[in-house]
Amino acid sequence: MANSTLKTLIGSHFRTYAIALVYVAIIVIFMITAPAAFLKPQIYMAFLSTVPFT
């Protein structure tokens, strides 16, 4: 019973999970290849200071 519910949930949201997994993989690759940039808070503060709050 629980297995079929899990398959239904994953099946109905497969694209969402796939896109999220690709996003996380890209961020991890960036953090591994350029840790000086992607592990410091300054890059995120610079990004957030330019994004409008809506």
**pLDDT truncated to tens, each residue of the chain (54 aa)?**
556 776 776 777 888 889 999 999 999 999 999 999 888 999 889 888 998 877
In this prediction, residue 38 carries a pLDDT of: 85
The pair of three-digit structure tokens given for residue 34, joined into one six-digit string: 């350029």
The pair of three-digit structure tokens given for residue 32, joined into one six-digit string: 């591994």
In this prediction, residue 19 carries a pLDDT of: 94
How many domains does the structure of the chain reveal? Answer: 1
- d(C-alpha 38, C-alpha 43), whole Å: 7
> Given the structure tokens 């610079």, which residue do they identify?
46
- d(C-alpha 48, C-alpha 11), whole Å: 34
Q: 29 lies in which domain range? A: 2-50
The end-to-end CA distance of the chain, in Å, is 43
In this prediction, residue 6 carries a pLDDT of: 67
In this prediction, residue 52 carries a pLDDT of: 85
Instruction: Supply the pTM of this predicted model.
Output: 0.61
